[in-house]
Structure 1
Amino acid sequence: MITTQAQLNQALSELEAEKRLALDIESDSFYHYEERLCIVTVSSPRENYIFDTLALGEAGRELQSLVERRDRPLLMHSANNDVLALKRGYRLEFGWIQDTALACTLLNYPQTSLASLAEAFLGLRLPKDLQRHDWGQRPILQQHIDYLINDTRHLFEIHDRIEGELRDRDIYEEYELECRALVQSVPREREFDPERFRRIRAHEELDASRRGALKALYAWRDGLARSLNRAPFRVISDGTLLDLAKDPPRDVAELARRSGVGRWLSEHAEEMLAVIRRGLSEPAPLRAPFKPRTTGDDAKRLDPRQRDVLGKLKGWREKEAASRGLGLQAVLPTPVMFELIQNPPRDVAELAAHPRVGQSRARRYGEKLLQLLAPLARARR
């Protein structure tokens, strides 16, 4: 356990000479509205280190020296969220990531969890009893340590097995390019979108006024969760919100009899009733109103010609992936499809220069992609 500056200095010194490392993090986002980075676990092929980032505070920024090197791979599993959390929490910049879950996705493995890979490749059954543990709690006990290091110490052998298959299937360059995209990922500020109430299952069964009540309750819950620093579902569940919107209570007594309202009732009963009444008076449509995105795969709304090309690209990608027994993203990542549609390349060389296409894809698919994109390329000239 690394909890002090002296221990941190010693650990960083010991890890400096290692030729590769494995890393995983634990946060408390399952419990709190504002995520905290609680634990960083780092393994070398010889030793395991657990960095208590709550105890280290800003000194944890010195972990930069472990992750920034471009001459030493940093093995991770499902790296995207961890990379973004470390960039947000410590402003870390990464050099070289190898992601075992990403590799499995490209190879079209039916199961990509670390537990599945450990059992398939190593014959190990990793315990799952602490998957929902609150890692903001202290002290860290031996059972916690044993669980944490299981997330990193097996990645070396697992990656070695998978790397051979990536090379055999001739998609190692594609894998490297997708890992490089992880390195370059940019964290976004968390923004509450009131229209996401439509993600609640069965919302479409409500009429417009009751959808309005659900939307109002959804926004109210987020505000309360933020003020309490609790994960929204730990304030009131989606199911309870749906029930209150579907059959709105008329008074405090009726609200008190509803399942799932619980201890929030005494302080917020009148407020909840007012929110429901307001929502009922503001009907919400079944579909969210269109809001142009400024970032993302579909940042620009596609015109009819572009949508037609997108459909053809998706159909071609499905057939190609099936014929090679690979995942769809191995053939062509979805964000790249949108980028090529919005800015079609003029030739194979320009296609290969795209940072997530590369030489291998350009050689294999270049002429076909240019053919599919030709209507858009002509319009670009």
Structure 2
Amino acid sequence: MPTDAIADETPEPVTPQAPRLELRDPLPPVVDTPELLRDTCERIAAGTGPIALDAERASGYRYSQRAYLVQVRREGSGTHLIDPTAFDSLVPLDTAFDGNEWILHAATQDLMCLAEVGLYPESLFDTELAGRLLNLPRVGLAALVEHYLGLSLAKEFSAADWSTRPLPEPWLVYAALDVEVLVELRDLIDAELQKAGKREWAAEEFEALLSFQGPPERKEPWRRTSGIHKARGRRALGLVREIWETRDAIAEARDTTPGRILPDTSILEIAVNPPQDANALKSMRIMKNRGPRRFLSEWYDAIERGLTLDESELPTTGQRTDGPPPPRAWADKNPEAADRLARSREVVVELAEKHDLPTENLISPQLVRNLAWEPPTPITVDTVTEALVADGARAWQIGLIVDPLTAALKPESV
């Protein structure tokens, strides 16, 4: 038998499965009474060191982004699972934290819903963001736990409906595990940041998160409707807008994710081929499902509004109100800006490789596009610095990039 055939039959080495992360303590009860909350606050206040924190939402099921479970762990106090829906606020818990450092993973996902229940950090450490600054290939919590601790962490309930009551025990175990080793993980990542000379960078990033107010509100969020390119012409776009806004109002009132009221595909189907009367709407395939059919009159009212809008009230085609146009259109619309963007991107890639960073963590891609599309006048290190500061760039980022970026923004002949 040929030697290559023997090689083909040799099995690939199997990477051993990392041992499963398990709870070190018995699963705690859900804190859902004033008495239990008072006891929890006393135990947390008596603990030591930073506070591991996480929150579970029901994003795929609810319109709101509220927290339906808050998990807390601290040395000397153990893990606590708190039901925020059982209380007017969790301010007593915030008091028990007493300004100690929070440890969060992907803080921007949880800070807003924690603030809604009265929890505000005075200092924090974000393990996901720290992993990005270290340019790790995978920065999910499970990946970091395996990388640093050699343990596997299942994420099978990450998309569960956490508004469910009572919460099933397997879900509660999953939630408790999310904070089980955050303190140990934080210390290991912190040591690596210091070794890489990136601890001060991380400190600036964490400080910026303390004032995080959520993503900027889109001026025309209906333009994010999936498949909107199929809506040809201003009248069709007007129909998309009216139906989308009707759906959004219904979803908010019912605290249900909009896609469960009416899918984006159905919005487009109506907008592209609008029915001529209520009976025609009712007979459409998309109205055979009970969910959309419950709001038949609301959909028809939205269609009538869209069809009778004055030309001056119709949205314009291709208009963007939240920044420059897509870069693919720059070569035709603004060739000079396209050249600036190309040079700026080269600078970002080169610097990111030099400092072992993802390009998006060295500097926001949107910020680079904004500067390339409309650079300051005159283009100097000082004016570019001002623009970077105004758009939220941190001091460490500006220190690394402002000189080469300024040069890239200037005309090549200069």
Q: Given the two structures, how large is their TM-score scaled by the length of structure 1?
A: 0.78
What is the CA-CA distance between 1:240 and the residue it aligns to? 1.5
For 1:185, what is the secondary structure of its paired residue?
A: coil
Residues 335/342 of structure 1: CA separation in 2 closer, same or farther (3 Å cut): farther
Contact 1:252/1:270 (8 A) holds in 2: no
The number of aligned residues is: 359
| SS in structure 2 of the partner of residue 207 of structure 1 | coil
Find 2:227's aligned residue among 202, 218, 231: 202
Alpha carbons of structure 1 residues 267 and 146: separation in structure 2 relative to 1, 3 Å: closer
Q: Deviations over 1:132-190 (max 9, x none)?
A: 222222223321220111211122233333223322322111111111111122358x9
Change (3 A) 1:142 1:228: closer
> What is the one-letter code of the residue matched to 1:226?
E
C-alpha distance in structure 1 between counterparts of 2:290 and 2:388, whole Å = 59
Distance 1:325 1:7, change over 3 A: same
Q: In structure 2, which of residues 195, 202, 214 is the aligned counterpart of residue 168 of structure 1?
A: 195
What corresponds to 1:298 in structure 2?
A: none
Provide the residue aligned with 2:21 in structure 1. none
- Using the alignment, how far apart are the partners of 2:280 and 2:388 within structure 1? 67
Structure 2 counterpart of 1:239, one-letter code: T
For residues 27-66 of structure 1, the aligned pairs below 5 Å read 27-45=57-75, 47-58=78-89, 60-66=90-96
Partner in structure 2 of residue 233 of structure 1 = 259
Worse-superposed segment, 245-254 or 18-27: 245-254
1:76 to 88, 101, 104: 104
Give the match for residue 178 of structure 1. 205
Decide whether aligned partners of structure 1 residues 342 and 75 sit closer, same or farther in structure 2, where only a CA change above 3 A counts.
Answer: farther
Report whether the alignment pairs 1:19 with 2:19. Answer: no
Using the alignment, how far apart are the partners of 2:303 and 2:161 within structure 1? 33
Cα displacement (A) at 1:99: 0.4
In the TM superposition, residue 266 of structure 1 has moved relative to its aligned partner by 4.8
Q: How much does 1:116 deviate?
A: 2.4
CA distance in 2 between counterparts of 1:278 and 1:346 reads: 50
Distance 1:304 1:97, change over 3 A: farther
Letter in 1 for 2:70: V
Unaligned segments of structure 1, at least 5 residues? 294-302, 376-381
1:236-283 Cα shifts (integer Å, max 9, x gaps)? 111221222223334425533413662245543243234224324545
* Native 8 Å contact 1:221 1:236 kept in 2: yes
User: 2:363, 2:397 within 8 Å by CA — same for their partners in 1?
Assistant: no
Alignment partner of 1:122 is 2:152: no
- CA contact under 8 A between 2:227 and 2:265: conserved in structure 1? no
Gapped regions of structure 2 (runs ≥ 5) = 1-29, 325-333
- Rounded Cα–Cα distance in structure 2 between residues aligned with 1:200 and 1:182: 29
Superposition map of 1:1-381 within 5 A:
1-16=30-45, 17-45=47-75, 47-58=78-89, 60-67=90-97, 69=99, 72-90=100-118, 92-186=119-213, 193=219, 195-208=220-233, 209-250=235-276, 251-253=278-280, 255-259=282-286, 262-264=289-291, 266-282=293-309, 283-288=314-319, 290=321, 312-333=343-364, 346=382, 357-358=394-395, 362=399, 368=404
In 1, distance between residues paired with 2:143 and 2:113? 24
Q: CA deviation at 1:97?
A: 0.7
Change (3 A) 1:192 1:292: closer
Question: Contact 1:345/1:351 (CA < 8 Å) preserved in 2?
Answer: no
Alpha-carbon offset, residue 94 of structure 1: 1.4
Return the offset for 1:2.
Answer: 1.9
Q: TM-score, normalised by structure 2?
A: 0.73
- The alignment yields a C-alpha RMSD, in angstroms, of 3.8
Q: Decide whether aligned partners of structure 1 residues 150 and 215 sit closer, same or farther in structure 2, where only a CA change above 3 A counts.
A: same
Q: Displacement of 1:304 after TM fit?
A: 11
Q: Percent identity?
A: 24
Q: For residues 270 and 121 of structure 2, what CA distance do their matches in structure 1 show?
A: 46
Relative to 1, partners in 2 of residues 1:67 and 1:184: Cα closer, same or farther, differing over 3 Å? farther
Q: AA paired with 2:348?
A: R
Look up the SS of the partner of 1:43 in the other structure: strand
Cα pair distance change 1:38/1:253, threshold 3 Å: same
Between 16-25 and 225-234, report the one with greater CA deviation. Answer: 225-234
* Distance in 2 between residues matched to 1:264 and 1:135, nearest whole Å: 22
Change (3 A) 1:162 1:192: closer
Deviation per CA, 1:344-363: give whole Å up to 9, x if none. 7759x99999996446963x
